[in-house]
Structure 1
Amino acid sequence: MLTISPIADTPEAALERVLPSAPYLRRLHETGTRGHWRDALQAVRDIPADLPEAEAMTVMRKAKAQLHLSLAAEDLSGILPVMSVTRALSEFAEACLEAALRVTLARRGVGGAGIFAVALGKMGAYELNYSSDIDICVFYEPGVFMAGDYEAGETAQRIARDIVRIMQELTGDGYVFRTDLRLRPDPSSTPLAVSTRMADLYYESVGQNWERMVWIKGRPTAGDRESAARFLKILSPFVWRRNLDYWAIGDIQAIKRMINSKVGRADFETVSPDVKLGPGGIREIEFFAQTQQLILGGRQPELRDNSTLGALAALTKAGVVEPDTADELNTAYLALRNLEHRVQMRRDEQTHIVPAGEDDRRDVALMSGYDDLAAFDRDLQATRRCVQAHYDRLFAHEDRALEDHSLGNLVFTGVDDDPGTIETLASLGFSNPSAAIDTIRNWHRGRVPATRTARGRELLTALLPGMLAAMGKTGEADEAFRWFSRFFEGLSSGVQTLSMLLAEQTLLDDLVSTLALAPRLAQILSRRPDLLEALVSNQEPSRPVIDEHVSFDGALDSWRRYHREQNFLIGHRLLHGLIQARDAGTHWSDLADDTIREMAAAAERETANRYGPRPGSWAVFAMGKLGGRELTAGSDLDLIVIYDADPMEAQTWYTRFTQRLITALTAPTAEGDLYEVDMRLRPSGGAGPVAVSVPAFERYQNKDAWTWEHMALTRLRPVAGNEALSHQIMTIACEAIVSRAAKDDGTIARDVSDMRQRLYREKPGKGLWDLKTAEGGLVDAEFVVQQDMLLSGKPEAIRANTREAIAHSTLPDAERSMLIEGVTFLQSLQQVHRLALGSDVQAGVMPEGLKDRLCRSVGVDSFAALEAEISSLKSRVHALCAEKLHLPATD
C-alpha cells in the first residue's frame, strides 16, 4: 500500500528540499511570502465590511499565497496530517466567502438577513485540496431577504455575481478560488442565486439521486445561518428518504455502474493514473460511503456524517461495513489525498493525474517520501487495486444483467461533461458526445414527460448502458440517438415503456435498430409505445370479434387496436427482411381488405339500427394501389360503393351507409385512426353521389367515362359485400373497357399521351428517389400497361395488379420482361422507402442503415451501385413509355 512519509523534520527543511521541483511553491517563496497559515486565515476573517472591494480582494489573494506556502511546508514535514490540511484550506475558503459576501452587502447597502451560501462537495465536507475549486449554491429566502422587496431576486443575482468575481478574478496578486455555482437546481435555466421556495419545489418534483448524493455534504458556509438551517431542514426529507423504494435503490446501483465501469487491466498498469476519477481512486471511496448512506441514512440518522472518513466510521460502527474493509479504505483514502496534494502543489494545477514523465513522477515520489520510483509506482498500483476490490464488492447481490455492458465511463450527473464518458461515446461512434450528454442530462432533469417522475428517471439511469451499447451496434450512433430521442421525448409517460425495455434487452436492441432505420416509425412509436408489446409477445395479434352485440363506436376502437398492432408488425417485418419487399404490397392490402370488410359490416349494422333494414344489396370496390394489391405504408384507400336497389327508395339509405363507412375508416378515436379514404374515382367524381346504383354505374361507364377513368377502372377489385353484385359490376367494367377498344378511332392513344404529359407538368419528378411520378417511375410503367389494356380489347388482359397486367399484355416478350423486372425493383424499393421515411424522396436524409436495407431489398451490393441501377432502369422505362405513348422528345 502507498505510504506518504515526511520528507524533512521541519517545515523550512521540507520547503528547501522541494523548491527545485515545485515551481509554484518556489515562486511563492521567491516573492517573499512569509507567515503562518493561521495568521493568513485570521487576516481574512478580520476584513471589515466597509473595506473597499479592491483592497479586500488584495488581502484575500496575499493571504492565500501565505497560507499555501505555510500549509505545504507543514504538510510535507508531517506536522499537519492531511485531513487537517484539507480543513485549513476549507476554513480559509469559508472565511473568504464570508468576507466577500460581507463586503458586497455593505457596498450595495443591503442587509444580510435571508441570503446565504451553502458549500457542497469537498468544501462542504472540509475536504478541499490545494487546487480545488469550490462548489457553492447561493440562496435567498423570499419574504426575509430585503423584507420581501420585489427586487430581491435581481439583487440576489448581483450579489452572487459579485461574490464569484471577488473570489476568482485574476489580478496581479492572482486569484483566491475558482467558484462553481453549477450544482444549484437546474443550472441551465435558473439564475445564479435561487430562491429557497423554487429550490424546494425543484428538489421535491424532479430532484435526482445524484443530487441527493451531492447534498449529503451540504453545509452552510456564509451569510444568514438561521435561514440556511431552515432551508437544510426543509431539504432533509429529499436527501434522507425514510422509505427508499426498489427503483431508487436500482437507480443508485446504476449510478454506481456508470460512475466508472470496468475498463480493463491496462488502466492498473499505467504509471500515470487519475487518482481521483480513475479505477481505484478517491471517487470510488467517496461513492462507497455515500451510496450506503443514501440507502440507509433515512432510517439511521447516525450515518449522516458529511465527511468521507466520518461516514466510513459511522457505517462501520453500525455494522454496515466490515472493520477490515473500513481500515483499508481509510488508509487508502489518506494516502491518495496526500498524493493528490503533492501532485497539485508543484504547479497549483487542478489536476489529479500523476505525471507520466519519469522525471516529473520522480519529483512527486520524492515529495511523497519515496527514493525508489519503482516502489512508488508499485505501492500506488496496490492501493488502487485494493480500493477497487472493495468497490466491486459493493452491491455484490445486485442483478448483474446490466454489467455485461463494459463500455467504460457513462456519467451523466453533475454539470461538467465527464472526459471518460466523452471517450466512451466517441468509441461507440458518436461524432458529438457532448451533445448527447447534454440531451441525456436534460432527460434526467425531468424535462420530458417520460422522466417527470422519480421512477422514470431511475429507470432511465438503469437503461442507459444497454441503450447506448445498442446504438453503437447500429454503426450510426448519431442517427440512432437522434431518432431514439424523438421517440423518447414523444412518450407521454415513460415508466411502463422503460420497464419493458429494461426487462427485454433484445427488445431494446430491436427498437434502437428499427428507429435508426426508419425515422417514420419513430414518430409512430412515440405516439403508440404500446406497440412494442406486440414484439415482446412474439405472437400474431388476436383478431377481435365484432358482431351485433358490439356498438359502432366499440367496433371502431376494437378494430383500431388490432389494426395498429398488425400494421406495425408488417412494417417491422418488412424493415428487418422477415417478409420480402416485393410481397409487402400483398400484406398491406390484405390488412386493408380485412379492415374494409369489418368496418363495412359495422357501418351496415349501425345504419340499419338507425334507419331501418338494408334495401337490396351492396358491394365495396377498391381502385388504385389497393385495387392492384400494391399498397405501401401510409397509403390511402381509393374506394367505390355500389348498390343494387331502386335509387328512389335506396339512395338515402346507402348515402348514410357510405358516410358511416368513411367515418369508420377515417375518424380518429382514442385508439387512433386507420386510413385516409379517397372516393373521387367514383362516377362523376366529387360531384356525384357517394354511393352509386348499378344502372348509374353501367350508364356512366358506357356513355360518359373519360379515357383516364377507364384507365383507373382497370384496377377495379371487389373487397366487401354481395358476391353476385361484385361479379356483375366486374363484368360491366370489363365490357365497358372492351367496348371502348372496339370503337376506338385513335382517341385512346392521344388521351393517354396527353394525360401523361399533363402529369409531368403538374407533378414534376423530384429526383432520383422519386420512384413514382418522375420520368421512368412507376406511373410511366402503369400508363404503358393501362394503355395496352384499353387498346387490346381482350378481357383476359384486364388485370388490376400491375405485374400481372404486364405479364398478360400484348407487349413483346423483351418489353414485358423489362417492365416486370423494373416494376418489381421499383415497388420493392418504394415499400422500404415509404415505410422508413414516408413520402420524403431525398436520399440525403437516409440513415446509413436504411441505405443498406434498401440494397438488400433488391439484392444490390452497394448504395452507389443501387443508385446507378435506379438511374439506368428509369431511363429504360421512360424510353419505353415515350415510345408507346408517343411522347414528344425532351431536352
Structure 2
Amino acid sequence: MNESGTSRLKIGGPIHPEPLDKDRAAEWLRDLAERATAEDLPALRHFLEAGDEADRARLSAVLDLSSFLNSLILIHPDWLERLFQEDAGARITAVVEELRQLPGTESSETRLMAQLRRLRNEASLLIALRDLFGAADARRTTADLSDLAEAAVGAALRFCLLDLDRTGKIRLPDRDRPEEGAGLFVLAMGKLGGRELNYSSDIDIICFFDSRAPAILDPGEAVDIYSRLVRRLVRMIGERTADGYVFRTDLRLRPDPGAMPLAIPVSTALSYYESSGRNWERTAFVKARTIAGDQAAAANFFSEITPFIWRKYLDFAAISDIKAMKERIDRHRGFEGLAVAGHNVKLGRGGIREIEFFVQTQQIIAGGRSPRLRVRSTEDALHELVEGGWIAKETASELIVAYWFLRRVEHAVQMVADEQTHSLPEDEEGLLRIAKLLGFKDFSAFSAELMRHMEVVDQRFGELFAGDRGPLPEHSRIGRLFGGDEDSRLVDYLTEIGFQRPDDIARVIRAWGVGRYRATRSDAARTQLSRVLPLLLRTFGRARDPDAALAAFDAFLERLPSGLQFFALIAANPKLLELLALVITSAPRLAGTIVARPHVFDALIDPAFYRETPTRALLAERLEAFLHDAEDYEDTLARLRIFASEQQFLVGARLLSGTMQGEGAGAAFSNIADLVIASAFEAVEAMFIERHGRVSGGRMVLLGMGRLGSRELTAGSDVDLMLLYDHDDGAEQSDGDKSLPTSVYYMRLTQRLIAALSSPMGEGVLYEVDFRLRPSGNKGPLATHIDSFRSYQKDQAWTWERMALTRSRPVAGDPGFIDEVKSTIRDILGEPRDESSIRNDIAAMRARIERDKPARGALDLKLRAGGLIDLEFIAQWAILEGRVSLDFIGCPTVEVIAVAERAGVIPSLGLGLSLEMAMQAFTRIIQLMRLGPQGCWRVGELPPGLADRIAETLDLPSQDQIETTTDEIAGSVRQAFLSLLPFPEKPSAD
C-alpha cells in the first residue's frame, strides 16, 4: 500500500510499457483476477480491483506483449502476491541464496530438478519485470541472470558429487563441502563468465579436473566418471520437463570438442592449449570464470594457463584472426548493412558482438603487458582501456551506452517467448511489440534510437580494424601491382610519390612480393605487407632521400626474422610509420634492436608513450608486473632482458621523436639499469644462497660507478660496478651444503652476477659489465671486503680513483650496509688533501688523455678539448676540493656544475653561456648520437634525420650550424677548465 492506501507491486521503476491491444490487455487482467480469487490471494485480488492504476496498466501491458511472462504470471500468481510484502530485487537475491543452499539432505534428482526449475522461473519473471519497468538497468539484469545460472550449476554439481561419493565412485574429503578436494571445476565462458548473461541465453561451460585431487580414487577411471557426471549435470540443468528448463548448456568451447571427453584432465588441457590453442580460444578465456567446483584446483589451472591467454608481447596478428572470425559470422549469417527489421542485434553489423570484439581484441593485444586490462566485464574493460590511454573517453562512453541499450533490446526480443533469438522481428506488429516492451511510444522513436547506437558501434569497430569496411587509399591499386607483372604502372606510381630511381625501388618491392626474405616468406606476412605497402611507400617517399630511406628499410627487412606480427602492427597503427622511418634511417642501434627482438617495437604502441615520463616508480611497477609470472631463475633473467630492451628502446624512441631531451634520457636509462641490475642481483643471491648457504653476518652492496653512478647512462652504455661485502668476525665459510670459503664465496657470487648480466641468452645481454674501478683494478679480487676498501683508499688509492668515487652510488644491497658504505665514501672523499696536488693530478690526467686519445672530429664530444671529459673533471674536482657539498656524490655532472657555478666556484664564461648550459647541450647531443651509427664524428657523416634532430634539440635553424655551435661551446669550456686546472708543462709519468 502507498501513503493513500492504494496497493502497489514492490517493483518500482519509471518505465511504463503500453500494450498492443488495450482491450486484450484488460481481458488478461480479468483472467489474472480470477486466478487470484481461485488461489485465495487477497493482496493481488485487491490490487487488480483497486490498486495503483499505473502499476496495473503496465502489468497488463506485459501480459499482452509477452506470451512467456503471461504464462508465468497466470500459472503462478502467488509470485506476484509476495511482491506486496517483499521487494522484487530482494526476492531475486533470496531465490539465488536458496539455490546456493541446495541440495538438501533429502533431495532426489527428480525433486532437485523441479526445485531448480521453479526457482529459475520465479527469478526469471521478477528479473524481467524489473528490467521492463526500469527498476533494474541492464547491468543489474545481466548480473542477476548470471548469479542465477551460477547458483543453479553449483547446486546440480554438488548433488552429482554427493551421489558419486554415496555410490563409492569417489571419496569426498568433506561431504558438507562436496566441491572442496573433488578436483572437478566448472568454468563459465562468454557472457556468463563476464556476469553479463542475456535473458534466454545458453550457458557456455567447460569442465576440467585435477587427477591428483584427494577425492579421486583411481585416476585411470576419473575421465569416465567425471564425464558421466558432466553429462548428468547438463541434463539436470538443460532438459525440458513439465516445469520447463533451467538453462540450456553448451560444452562446445572445450578443447577439440569432437575428440575430447566432457570432463578434461588439467594436464591434457594445458598440453592442448600450449601446442594447439588458437586465438579465438584465447579470446574466449578473457571472460573465463570459475562458477562451481574445486576452487583451489581452478586457481592452479588459471595460474598455469595465464601465459597462453596473456602473451608477453603485443599480439597484433590476433586482430586478423578476430576480424576473420567476425567476417565468417557475417558471411554465414548473411549480415551486410545496418537495418532494424530482422536485424540481429548480437551478431549483426553494429551489434553487441562488435563491441565485445572491439574490447577483447585490445585486451588480447595488450593484456600481457597491462595486467589491469585483464577484466571480464565489457564495461570495466572499456574503462580500463581509457585509463591506460588505449582509447578516448568519448569512445568508451559511446560504446558503453550503446552496449547496454543493445542488451536491453536483446532482452526484450527474448522475453516475448523465452526464445534464444537475437534478431528483431521482420513484421510491423512484431517490431512495435519490441518497441513498446522497451517503453517507446511508437516504432519510429525506437528505430531512430537503435540506428543511432548501431551506427556508433559500426564506426568505432571499423576504425579499430583500420578502415576494413572501406578500402584503404590506393590499397586495391597497389595490391594488384605488388608481386604482379604491371612493371610500368608500379614505376609510374613510385615516380609520382617522389622516388628518384623508381626502377631500382620496383625491383626491391618485387623481391618482397616473391618472399625473398624470411620476413616475407609466408602468405600471411605478404598479405599484411600488401595491406600496409601503400602507406609505407608514401611515408618513405616523403623522406629527404626517399631512395636511401627505402633501401635502409629493405636492409632492415632482410634481417627481420619474422614479418607477420610486425606488418600487422603497422597495419593496425599506421601513425607509427613516420617514427619507424626515422628509426630505420637514423638510429641503427634502435633498428638493430627491433631486428634482434622485433617485439620491442610493441612499446611504442602503449598510449602512454607520448605523454608520460618513465619515472623510477613507474618503471618499478611495470617491472614487478612483468616478473610476476616468472617461472624460475632462467625465466627471470630472460624477462629482465626483455624488459630492459623494451624500456631502453622506448627511451631512445622518445629521444628521437623529440618527446624527451638528453638529460631526461640519462636519468631514464639509469633508472632502468638500477631496477634491472637490482632484480638480477636479488635473483643471483637467492640462487647462490640455495646452493652455497650464507656467510654469518654477511652483507653486500653493489656500487654503480661512472655514468651509472652519476645517472648519465646513454643508449648502449656499459655499466661500471663494484661489489663490497662484510661479515661477522671469524666467519670462515658459508653454511650451505656446498659451502665455500668466505672470500671465494663473494668472488664466485660476483662472477655469477656478471654472467647473469652479460651472458648472451635468447633475449640478448642485459649489460656489458666492467669491474675495473675496484681497488687495484684487474689485479684485485672481484669482490672487496669493506675493511680492505677503506685501507686501500687510505693508503694506496690514486687521485683518479677518488675522482671515480665522486660518481659512485649504491644500486642494490643490504639497506643498513648501504648507509655504512655511503658514510665510508663520504669520509674518504672528505679527508683533507693538498689542493695543488689534486689540481695537478687532474690536469695531468686530462693532458695525458688528450695526448693518447685525440678527438676524431668536431662531434667527438667526449674526447675533444672542452668536451665532456673537461666538464666531468671540473665537477669531480669541485667535490674533491670541498667546493661542492659531499651530498652531491653520485649526482649528474650538470647538477654538480650548476651548484658550483651558483657558489662562484667556476668563472663566468660570458656571452650568456654557462658551464651548466654547455653540459646540457653536450648531453643532449651525445645522447642522440649514441642512437646513431658508430664512428660518426662530423655532421656530414650523420644520417640526415639524426642531424636534423640534433639541430632541433639545440634550437638551431639547420644542421649546418651544429659544428660551429659545438666549437664555440667547447672553446669556452676549455677556457674555464684551464683557468681552474691548468695543464702542467709536462704530463705526469703516473
- Alpha-carbon offset, residue 476 of structure 1: 3.5
Aligned to 1:221: none
Q: 1:581 to 1:798 in 2, by over 3 A?
A: closer
2:472 to 402, 405, 418: 402
1:621 to 703, 706, 717: 703
Aligned to 1:502: 571
- Alpha-carbon offset, residue 539 of structure 1: 5.3
2:744 to 652, 676, 688: 652
- Alpha-carbon offset, residue 507 of structure 1: 2.9
Aligned to 2:775: 683
**What is the CA–CA distance in structure 2 between the aligned matches of 1:806 and 1:857, rounded to whole Å?**
21
Asked whether the 8 Å contact 1:520–1:838 carries over to 2, the reply is no
Aligned to 2:761: 669
- Alpha-carbon offset, residue 718 of structure 1: 1.1
**What is the CA–CA distance in structure 2 between the aligned matches of 1:619 and 1:398, rounded to whole Å?**
57
- Cα deviation, 1:547-573, whole Å, max 9, x if unaligned, reads 898522121012222222222211111
**What is the CA–CA distance in structure 2 between the aligned matches of 1:537 and 1:401, rounded to whole Å?**
27
Q: 1:886 to 1:539 in 2, by over 3 A?
A: closer
- Cα deviation, 1:101-129, whole Å, max 9, x if unaligned, reads xxxxxxxxxxxxxxxxxxxxxxxxxxxxx
Asked whether the 8 Å contact 1:665–1:675 carries over to 2, the reply is yes
The SS at the match of 1:836 is coil
Task: Give, as a single letter, the amino acid of the residue that structure 1 aligns with 2:706.
Answer: G
Aligned to 1:637: 719
Q: 1:751 to 1:410 in 2, by over 3 A?
A: farther
Asked whether the 8 Å contact 1:789–1:797 carries over to 2, the reply is no
Q: 1:759 to 1:411 in 2, by over 3 A?
A: same
Corresponding position: 1:543 with 2:619: no
**What is the CA–CA distance in structure 2 between the aligned matches of 1:811 and 1:804, rounded to whole Å?**
14
**What is the CA–CA distance in structure 1 between the aligned matches of 2:766 and 2:936, rounded to whole Å?**
21
Give the alignment of 1:518-667 within 5 angstroms: 518-538=587-607, 542-544=622-624, 546=627, 550-615=631-696, 616-645=698-727, 646=729, 648-649=732-733, 650-667=742-759
Unpaired runs of at least 5, structure 1:
1-245, 251-396
Task: Give, as a single letter, the amino acid of the residue that structure 1 aligns with 2:601.
Answer: L
Give the alignment of 1:738-753 within 5 angstroms: 738-739=830-831, 742-744=832-834, 746-753=836-843
Aligned to 1:802: 893
Larger Rg belongs to: 1
Give the alignment of 1:89-168 within 5 angstroms: none
**What is the CA–CA distance in structure 2 between the aligned matches of 1:560 and 1:807, rounded to whole Å?**
35
**What is the CA–CA distance in structure 2 between the aligned matches of 1:548 and 1:846, rounded to whole Å?**
42
The SS at the match of 1:696 is helix
Asked whether the 8 Å contact 2:830–2:886 carries over to 1, the reply is no
**What is the CA–CA distance in structure 1 between the aligned matches of 2:970 and 2:867, rounded to whole Å?**
6
- Alpha-carbon offset, residue 829 of structure 1: 1.0
The SS at the match of 2:784 is strand
Give the alignment of 1:77-96 within 5 angstroms: none
Give the alignment of 1:463-474 within 5 angstroms: 463-474=532-543
**What is the CA–CA distance in structure 2 between the aligned matches of 1:772 and 1:889, rounded to whole Å?**
23
Corresponding position: 1:875 with 2:875: no
Q: 1:867 to 1:426 in 2, by over 3 A?
A: farther
**What is the CA–CA distance in structure 1 between the aligned matches of 2:823 and 2:702, rounded to whole Å?**
15
Task: Give, as a single letter, the amino acid of the residue that structure 2 aligns with 1:843.
Answer: V
Asked whether the 8 Å contact 1:634–1:838 carries over to 2, the reply is no
Aligned to 1:75: none
- Alpha-carbon offset, residue 842 of structure 1: 3.9
Corresponding position: 1:774 with 2:843: no
**What is the CA–CA distance in structure 2 between the aligned matches of 1:544 and 1:799, rounded to whole Å?**
29
- Taking only the aligned residue pairs, the percentage that are identical comes to 34
**What is the CA–CA distance in structure 2 between the aligned matches of 1:470 and 1:788, rounded to whole Å?**
50
The SS at the match of 2:914 is helix
Corresponding position: 1:515 with 2:584: yes
Give the alignment of 1:408-423 within 5 angstroms: 411=481, 413=483, 417-418=487-488, 420-423=489-492
Asked whether the 8 Å contact 1:487–1:522 carries over to 2, the reply is yes
Task: Give, as a single letter, the amino acid of the residue that structure 2 aligns with 1:587.
Answer: A
Aligned to 2:514: 445
Q: 1:410 to 1:685 in 2, by over 3 A?
A: farther
Asked whether the 8 Å contact 2:478–2:533 carries over to 1, the reply is no
- Alpha-carbon offset, residue 617 of structure 1: 0.9
The SS at the match of 1:618 is strand
Asked whether the 8 Å contact 1:621–1:718 carries over to 2, the reply is yes
- Alpha-carbon offset, residue 398 of structure 1: 7.7
- Cα deviation, 1:209-232, whole Å, max 9, x if unaligned, reads xxxxxxxxxxxxxxxxxxxxxxxx
2:790 to 653, 673, 698: 698
Task: Give, as a single letter, the amino acid of the residue that structure 2 aligns with 1:470.
Answer: T
Asked whether the 8 Å contact 1:623–1:715 carries over to 2, the reply is yes
Aligned to 1:457: 526
Q: 1:539 to 1:430 in 2, by over 3 A?
A: same
Q: 1:573 to 1:797 in 2, by over 3 A?
A: same
**What is the CA–CA distance in structure 2 between the aligned matches of 1:517 and 1:466, rounded to whole Å?**
20
Corresponding position: 1:814 with 2:908: yes
- Cα deviation, 1:82-113, whole Å, max 9, x if unaligned, reads xxxxxxxxxxxxxxxxxxxxxxxxxxxxxxxx
Q: 1:629 to 1:794 in 2, by over 3 A?
A: closer
Asked whether the 8 Å contact 2:878–2:884 carries over to 1, the reply is no
**What is the CA–CA distance in structure 1 between the aligned matches of 2:872 and 2:897, rounded to whole Å?**
9
**What is the CA–CA distance in structure 2 between the aligned matches of 1:827 and 1:794, rounded to whole Å?**
21
Aligned to 2:933: 837
Corresponding position: 1:489 with 2:558: yes
- Alpha-carbon offset, residue 786 of structure 1: 1.8
- Alpha-carbon offset, residue 679 of structure 1: 0.6
**What is the CA–CA distance in structure 1 between the aligned matches of 2:514 and 2:924, rounded to whole Å?**
44
The SS at the match of 1:668 is coil
- Alpha-carbon offset, residue 479 of structure 1: 3.6
Task: Give, as a single letter, the amino acid of the residue that structure 1 aligns with 2:656.
Answer: L
- Cα deviation, 1:433-477, whole Å, max 9, x if unaligned, reads 222222222222322111222333333333321110111234432
Asked whether the 8 Å contact 1:483–1:519 carries over to 2, the reply is no
- Cα deviation, 1:362-407, whole Å, max 9, x if unaligned, reads xxxxxxxxxxxxxxxxxxxxxxxxxxxxxxxxxxx98534225799
The SS at the match of 2:713 is coil
**What is the CA–CA distance in structure 2 between the aligned matches of 1:885 and 1:855, rounded to whole Å?**
31
Aligned to 1:477: 546
Task: Give, as a single letter, the amino acid of the residue that structure 1 aligns with 2:957.
Answer: D
**What is the CA–CA distance in structure 2 between the aligned matches of 1:549 and 1:513, rounded to whole Å?**
34
Asked whether the 8 Å contact 2:907–2:976 carries over to 1, the reply is no
- Alpha-carbon offset, residue 730 of structure 1: 2.1
Asked whether the 8 Å contact 2:641–2:765 carries over to 1, the reply is yes
Give the alignment of 1:341-360 within 5 angstroms: none
The SS at the match of 2:859 is coil
- Cα deviation, 1:214-273, whole Å, max 9, x if unaligned, reads xxxxxxxxxxxxxxxxxxxxxxxxxxxxxxxx99xx9xxxxxxxxxxxxxxxxxxxxxxx
Aligned to 1:854: 950
- Alpha-carbon offset, residue 683 of structure 1: 0.5
Q: 1:535 to 1:795 in 2, by over 3 A?
A: closer
Task: Give, as a single letter, the amino acid of the residue that structure 2 aligns with 1:687.
Answer: K
Task: Give, as a single letter, the amino acid of the residue that structure 1 aligns with 2:762.
Answer: A
TM-score, normalization: structure 1? 0.52
